[in-house]
Chain A
């Protein structure tokens, strides 16, 4: 079946560092891919999405490119802030449901 694999956390970075959170997937067909973010004590927010190969999703300085050849959708940001501390989930759309990665906790230190 379809699956999503994320790098394990927590990931700890200093403010203004470059961020990469790896996400790879296995799927039949061509699913849409998503990054959701969950701040402490809150619900899930859609961060960005891509619906087809080579699409780049971007929002709030975060970017991810749908790479069909490597089945990847890595999340990147050039300069992180303390306010980016959260849990990040990679997901794909499979029929009626989202298939989720395990989540990566990001900690940004001032």
Chain B
């Protein structure tokens, strides 16, 4: 089973709202990733967690705040977003960093 799940599937929020995206995997993977994908572009890496610790932050604005409560779960907390943050947010996991990454279906975020 190579399933990564993400909720919600769609999210519409105002610029003053606070919301969270959730990602879950039960493959025993110890690396988890957040990506942002704009239309017709490849994904852009945002954050990497390894063994529940933040390993990489690709200079992402502080209005995006990741959290890894346990080895199966990854959250992305959103606050005071801008319309240009509207995109597909993808979560991925791999056995360890540098191993094959498996992606979830994504959350399509619209910021009004």
Contact = CB atoms under 8 A, between A and B. Distances in A.
A103 B38 CA distance: 12
B90 A43 contact: yes
Contacts of A89: 42
Contact of B98 (A45, A95, A100, A103): A95
Contacts of B102: 46
A103 B101 contact: no
Given A34-B100, A103-B41, A42 B48 contact: no
Nearest to A34: B100
B42 A42 contact: no
A74 interface: no
A58 interface: no
Interface residue SS majority, chain A? strand
B9 to A, nearest CB: 10
A86 B20 CA distance: 29
Contacts of A96: 48, 55-56, 97-98
Interface stretch (B67-75, B78-86, B103-111): B103-111
Contact of A101 (B6, B42, B101, B105): B42
Interface in B9-50: 40-43, 45, 48
A13 to B, nearest CB: 20
- Which of the listed residues A32, A45, A100, A105 has the most CB atoms from chain B within 10 Å of its own CB? A100
A68 to B, nearest CB: 19
Contacts of B104: 43
Given A46-B102, A93-B98, A100-B43, 4 more contacts: A44-B43, A93-B100, A100-B42, A101-B42
Interface of A: 32, 34, 36, 42-46, 49, 87, 89, 91, 93, 95-98, 100-103, 105
